[in-house]
Amino acid sequence: MAELTLNYAQGDAATRADALAGPAGPKPRRALSRRNIFIYGTLIVVSMYYLLPLYVMIVTSLKGMPEIRMGNIFSPPVEITFEPWVKAWAQACTGLNCEGLSRGFWNSVRITVPSVVLSIAIASINGYALANWRFKGADIFFTILIFGAFIPYQVMLYPIVILLREMGLYGGLYGLILVHSIFGMPILTLLFRNYFTSLPEELFKAARVDGAGFWGIYFKIMLPMSLPIFVVAIILQVTGIWNDFLFGVVYTRPDYYPMTVQLNNIVNSVQGVKEYNVNMAATLLTGLVPLVVYFVSGKLFVRGIAAGAVKG
């Protein structure tokens, strides 16, 4: 009896071994296949291409002038000094003013924050109205608004100067904030309209049956569901407005120059020695804000998109 069971078990094992002889489970992949070498090789070369200039900037900004004059731009600093960073932030001169970049930084903050808040607030309401409260002429309104995105900025520079002058806003911060808010409108409205259109229409109908009005639905139903698109809009606007040079230089007086304009003035000043280390540090400082925004909200962004993908 025991023998029989054993035989049976053996036979069973044999059939199982037969079945397992052929391909089974996941197909094995070699770590160093031609495909992998090609993919990772390309990725490494491309990232080198982009990271090398950054490396040179960081390294140079940490060197003293004598070391820079030796000409080895790729070599790491022998003696690390933060002097150029301090100088760039607090002492670098533009014209007669020697307060460094700090003034431009705060100007940029005072321009960017209200512009971002204002443009996103208005554009999200625009998009919501266009997506959910279809009014007469909505399509024409939308078309005109989108058309604004395709008109080159240069064409509008001078007319806006006149407009701002007539409104008494030329040269100050408020004028520039207004310009930034208006120019963010087409693309942001498109962004929000498309997002709100993608939300289920029945949700909006249910809220109407529940007695919520225009603002009630916007604040209590739509806003809480729209975190991902707000993050996208914030990234777009913060980087766009912070990096803007053209509007900043055209519509403000030197006292209110944003950081980018001031950076240009520091780097391109023709008097005296070219302080490469200070220039590099100033450039890095100016680029820091968009970088931080990318790193911080990038994560939020991905999380927001992932949360939005799960149907509610």
Partner 1 sequence: MPSVVVRDVSLNFGSVEVLKSLNLEVGRGEFLVLLGPSGCGKSTLLNCIAGLLDVSQGQIFINERNVTWDEPKDRGIGMVFQSYALYPQMTVEGNLSFGLKNARLPKDEIATRIARAAEILQIEPLLKRKPLALSGGQRQRVAIGRALVRDVDVFLFDEPLSNLDAKLRSELRVEIKRLHQKLENTMIYVTHDQIEAMTLADRIAVMRGGIIQQLDTPQAIYSRPVNRFVAGFIGSPGMNFIEGEVVGGAAPAFDAGGIKVPLDRYEFGDGGARGGKAVFGVRPEHVALGDAAAAMPCQYDVEVEIVEPMGSDTLVWGKFAGQNLSFRVETERAVSVGDRVRIGFDPGRASLFDADGGERI
Written as one string, the DSSP assignment of 20-54 is HHS--SSPP--TT-HHHHHHHHHHHHHHHHHHHHH
Written as one string, the DSSP assignment of 78-111 is SS---HHHHHHHHT--BTTB-STTHHHHHHHHHH
Q: How far is the CB of 298 from partner 1 (least distance, A)?
A: 23
Q: Which is nearer to partner 1, 75 or 197 (CB)?
A: 197
Instruction: List the end-to-end C-alpha distance of the chain, in Å, as a whole number.
Output: 61
Taking a C-beta distance cutoff of 8 angstroms, is the pair 108, 261 a contact? no
Q: Which is nearer to partner 1, 165 or 205 (CB)?
A: 205
Taking a C-beta distance cutoff of 8 angstroms, is the pair 119, 237 a contact? yes
Work out which of 41, 168, 200, 298 binds partner 1, going by CB under 8 A. Answer: 200
Work out which of 202, 270, 271, 272 binds partner 1, going by CB under 8 A. Answer: 202
Stretch that binds partner 1, among 121-129, 167-175, 219-227, 271-279 (CB under 8 A): 219-227
Provide the β-strand partners of residue 94: 97
Stretch that binds partner 1, among 22-30, 39-47, 87-95, 203-211 (CB under 8 A): 203-211
Q: How far is the CB of 299 from partner 1 (least distance, A)?
A: 21
Q: Rule CB under 8 A: is residue 207 a binding residue for partner 1?
A: yes
Q: Rule CB under 8 A: is residue 220 a binding residue for partner 1?
A: yes
Q: Structure tokens of 151?
A: 């008109």
**Among candidates 191, 246, 214, 225, which has minimal Cα distance to 305?**
225
Q: Rule CB under 8 A: is residue 210 a binding residue for partner 1?
A: yes
Q: Which is nearer to partner 1, 110 or 208 (CB)?
A: 208
- Greatest alpha-carbon span in the chain: 108
Question: Which residues in this chain contact partner 1 in the complex, by CB under 8 A?
Answer: 200, 202-203, 205-212, 216, 220-221, 224-225, 310, 312
